[in-house]
């Protein structure tokens, strides 16, 4: 996959930052947008692709390699030892090529990755980022993480205690669903900006901005490779 940072221009970064600033002007919540390249390592799907490629290479070698001659009066054809060597090399080389191919071709790796595993990995990574980036550490417990994971084509919204109490998980799930839809039909910056604006609008009614409110988290997009 292309370097994740390369997907965003300077204008994209400014657009998203401005969306966060505008949203936080209405609410005491602190919103952090994050885009990650992937949320899991997914070694097993790579091994599965490698195994399939190894088997196909073995079959091709078996089909193309001449069999040892059974004619006592003929010395033609490869020996059994050479034939075995070709089979082993084909199997190992096919496995290696398959693993490398799965590492570089995202749709192929995704094809052999269970959707339930991807969903769980995205949620776990989002929670990890929520704590690692100290989104949970705001004074009023008003942090909101809007997380997008590119490989899995999934999003998650994690919120701190005050947001969950005032707004509710169902409202966050609705925003996340709309974000996912927008990501599938538009650009990442626009989808994020829409989700940020919607989050700010919904929170403005239940967690309005205080006159003494201070900005506790960066407003910039966080990109994780």
Q: Give me the pLDDT at residue 155, please.
A: 98
Residue 65, pLDDT score: 77
Residues 154-188 have pLDDT tens digits of: 999 999 999 999 999 999 999 999 999 999 998 99
Domains of the chain by start residue, with CATH: 4-40+114-224 (3.10.310.50), 43-111 (no CATH)
Interaxial angle between packed helices 80-104 and 43-64, expressed in degrees from 0 to 180 and rounded to the nearest 10: 150
pLDDT band of 87, cuts 50, 70, 90: confident
User: Can you tell me the mean pLDDT for 65-82?
Assistant: 62
Q: What is the pTM of this model?
A: 0.78
The per-residue DSSP string of 5-60 comes to: GGG--HHHHHHHHHHHHHHHTTBS-EEEEEEES-S---HHHHHHHHHHHHHHHHHH
pLDDT attached to residue 106: 74
Average pLDDT over residues 57-76: 69
Question: What are the residues whose beta carbons fall under 8 Å from the beta carbon of 115, sequence distance 6 or more?
Answer: none
Please write the tens of the pLDDT for every residue from 179-216: 999 999 989 999 999 999 999 999 999 999 988 889 99
Confidence band of 76 (pLDDT split at 50, 70, 90): low
Q: Please state, rounded to an integer, the average pLDDT across all residues of the chain.
A: 88
Q: Give the residue with greater pLDDT, 14 vs 79.
A: 14
Give the separation between CA 71 and CA 94, rounded to whole angstroms.
Answer: 32
- pLDDT tens, residue by residue, 10-26: 999 999 999 999 999 99
- Greater confidence, 1 or 32? 32
> Which residue would you say has higher pLDDT here, 68 or 137?
137
Give the C-alpha separation, 164 to 113, whole Å: 31
79 pLDDT above the threshold of 80: no
Tell me the pLDDT band of 119, cut-offs 50, 70 and 90. very high
Residues 128-163: pLDDT tens digits? 999 999 999 998 999 999 999 999 999 999 999 999
Task: Quote the pLDDT of residue 120.
Answer: 95
What per-residue confidence (pLDDT) applies to 209?
93
Query: Which helix H or strand E contains 90, and what residues bound it?
Result: helix 80-104
């Amino acid at each position: 996959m292309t370097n994740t940072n390369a997907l965003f221009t300077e204008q994209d970064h400014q657009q998203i930052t401005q969306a966060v600033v505008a949203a936080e002007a209405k609410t005491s919540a602190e919103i952090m947008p994050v885009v990650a390249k992937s949320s899991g390592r997914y070694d097993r799907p790579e091994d599965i692709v490698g195994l399939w490629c190894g088997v196909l290479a073995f079959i091709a070698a078996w089909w193309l390699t001449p069999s040892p001659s059974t004619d006592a009066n003929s010395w033609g054809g490869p020996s059994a030892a050479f034939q075995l060597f070709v089979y082993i090399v084909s199997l190992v080389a096919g496995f290696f090529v398959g693993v490398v191919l799965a590492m570089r071709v995202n749709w192929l790796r995704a094809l052999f990755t269970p959707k339930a595993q991807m969903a769980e990995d995205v949620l776990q990574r989002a929670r990890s980022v929520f704590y690692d980036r100290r989104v949970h550490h705001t004074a009023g417990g008003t942090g909101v993480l809007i997380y997008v994971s590119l490989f899995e084509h999934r999003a998650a919204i994690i919120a701190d205690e005050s947001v969950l109490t005032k707004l509710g998980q169902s409202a966050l799930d609705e925003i996340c669903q709309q974000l996912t839809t927008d990501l599938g039909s538009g650009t990442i910056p626009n989808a994020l900006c829409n989700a940020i604006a919607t989050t700010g609008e919904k929170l403005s009614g239940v967690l309005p901005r205080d006159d003494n409110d201070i900005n506790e988290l960066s407003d910039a997009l966080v990109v994780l490779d």
